[in-house]
Amino acid sequence: MRQAKPDIEDVLALEIKRDLAERYFGFRRLIEKDKQELDRKVRHQTISLEQQICFDLARLYILLGDEMLIDDFLALAGLQEKLFFDPYLAESPTIRRRLFQGVKRRGLTKAGRFRNLALDCYESLTDHVNQYRAKLGELVEAREVINEEIKLFRRKNDIGLIMGFLRGLNGASPTHHGPMGGGLEVGLGASVDRNLQVEPPPPIETLLPIIPPLVPAPEIRDELKKLTDLAYKLHGRSFLSSLTI
């Protein structure tokens, strides 16, 4: 018994369905890939933040030691809060040695080495904050691009319209479902629409802290020297002895 040839309308309907599915899921995969890449960059920035800015600030907190001096330093630098501040840092000789291991020290006298160490740490901090802010701006722009992609995706892929079109290909009227409808009830199309839509990535500021630009080192060098000289008088000699420098 010979098999009946497929109807040309069925073939065309199948091709249209396949084309719609490929376009929908292809575009969606591209957006999801962009979201994964953004997530990877956010995680990288978190590591960078912890390893660079956190360490720079921790070194300065330890060098200054006194909380009043730390508050004065933060006001000079333009920081509104004690980022990554932990009083335990100053109390742990092991942490101090690890934080300053490999950090270059220069100066002929102990007081000079202490002062230069603080100034160098601040210059390192300002450099790292500038780099962080630049990368943060790139992440914000990348998120905006993804949001625009999602808006375009939604405009071109209205699930309700697509499903209505597919039901039409199967001979169903707007009020009577054909085979493609699969018994869809009122409201189910909206539910499918919600499940198949792509959610935008969360705002970058909810994932990473926004750090303001710091006052450049040359503008507050004299004030920083005064703070570090006070810190040296308070605990500088014992601090340098604990690092054996």
pTM of the model as a whole: 0.74
User: How remote is the C-alpha of 93 from its chain's centroid?
Assistant: 33
The pLDDT of residue 137 is 93
pLDDT reported for residue 131? 93
Confirm if 135 and 127 have CB atoms less than 8 A apart. Answer: no
What is the spatial distance between Cα 130 and Cα 215, in angstroms, rounded to a whole number? 11
Q: What is the mean pLDDT of each run of 10 residues along the chain (245 residues)?
A: 55 57 70 90 87 93 92 93 82 82 80 92 95 93 90 68 52 47 44 61 90 94 94 85 65
- The pair of three-digit structure tokens given for residue 24, joined into one six-digit string: 């929908």
Round to whole Å and give the CA distance between 67 and 87: 9
pLDDT for position 170:
54
